[in-house]
Structure 1
């Protein structure tokens, strides 16, 4: 059975995008991207909402993205190798291989996916992750904290969420980012 991991790059004050929707301040450098690649190798399936899926498709559909650096090329290969499930009521077609659409994000569907894989699942998108938290499905949280105070925008965690966590790993990077890995205590 796989673990469901919620991982994101965030500002120190907990935003994944600022008030203008920008997140360039969270762009990982080569050291951080290399570490991300090591973490992502264990992911066999990505769970996405429509918007984050459409943002991520470039890792397969735009060859220029992978040529930015050796670490970018490695991430593109990791991402393309994994299965992707997009939870959307409006998306009719997918632009990438190994991708399917599910209409409802519910406990039974996600638990069946978790039970049926050997690797980890990664949930991306704050809205989808909030639903997974409310359903008690998230097993681990990983945060790449950027040395930035965004001051507003899209929060990584929903308001009203109360959850006990246990620190299981940490790492500092030369660019000032810090990676934190927490087990969700049920």
Structure 2
């Protein structure tokens, strides 16, 4: 079966977002991107294992797919933008009960029950599934025990307050798969679930 991998940007004090009046994420694939070459390389190597991207409606409608499709066209020969090229090539699934049809290339809309929709994707052949979405979408996937691997991109910033990924899902025991630090200040921690909870938060799909 495919593995579902959830990637999240996170502060050193465990927050993944919120009303923070600071640019705290070391994340920008522009020409002056503070990500170092090693992190970009490792990110692209991981993404070569992916053949499906799972997106929340909000992420899709806020321009995620359009942004990376544009980047793929602007930097077709840049090896650091292999990620952008991959996003345009692989199958995308937007999980939403509100969207009727997809308006993005190589993208379908999953409108059924969240666990059932993800289970169908997991049982397909090919590579793994990358997940991109906000904390509500991620929490719903976690609560339904659908995440096979967590990849936390720990940024060198403490926010003091904000949204926590596991605030709605309760206790979770995780097993560390690996940890690597980079010159730009990012530390990538990889975990797999070692237990589960029955809490089921709602998600605005």
**What is the TM-score of this pair, normalised by structure 2?**
0.79
Q: Which has the higher strand share?
A: 1
* 49-58 vs 110-119, which moves further: 49-58
Cα distance in structure 1, aligned partners of 2:149 and 2:118: 15
Shift of 1:24: 5.4
Shift of 1:76: 0.9
Q: Does 1:123 align with 2:131?
A: yes
> 1:79 maps to what in 2?
87
* 106-115 vs 16-25, which moves further: 16-25
Contact kept? 2:52, 2:91, Cα under 8 Å: yes
Question: Which structure would you say has the larger Rg?
Answer: 2
Q: Which has the higher helix share?
A: 1
Secondary structure of the residue aligned to 2:46 is helix
Shift of 1:96: 2.6
* 161-170 vs 64-73, which moves further: 64-73
CA deviation map 1:47-67 (0-9, x unaligned): 11111123311111x248853
> 1:100 maps to what in 2?
108
Cα separation, partners in 2 of 1:169 and 1:114, compared to 1, 3 Å: same
Secondary structure of the residue aligned to 1:5 is strand
Q: RMSD of the alignment, in Å?
A: 2.5
> 1:42 maps to what in 2?
49
**What is the TM-score of this pair, normalised by structure 1?**
0.86
Unaligned runs of 5+ in 1: none
Give the length in aligned residue pairs. 185
Secondary structure of the residue aligned to 1:121 is strand
Cα distance in structure 2, aligned partners of 1:23 and 1:87: 29
Correspondence 1:126-141 to 2 at 5 A: 126-141=135-150
Cα distance in structure 2, aligned partners of 1:93 and 1:128: 19
* 88-97 vs 133-142, which moves further: 88-97
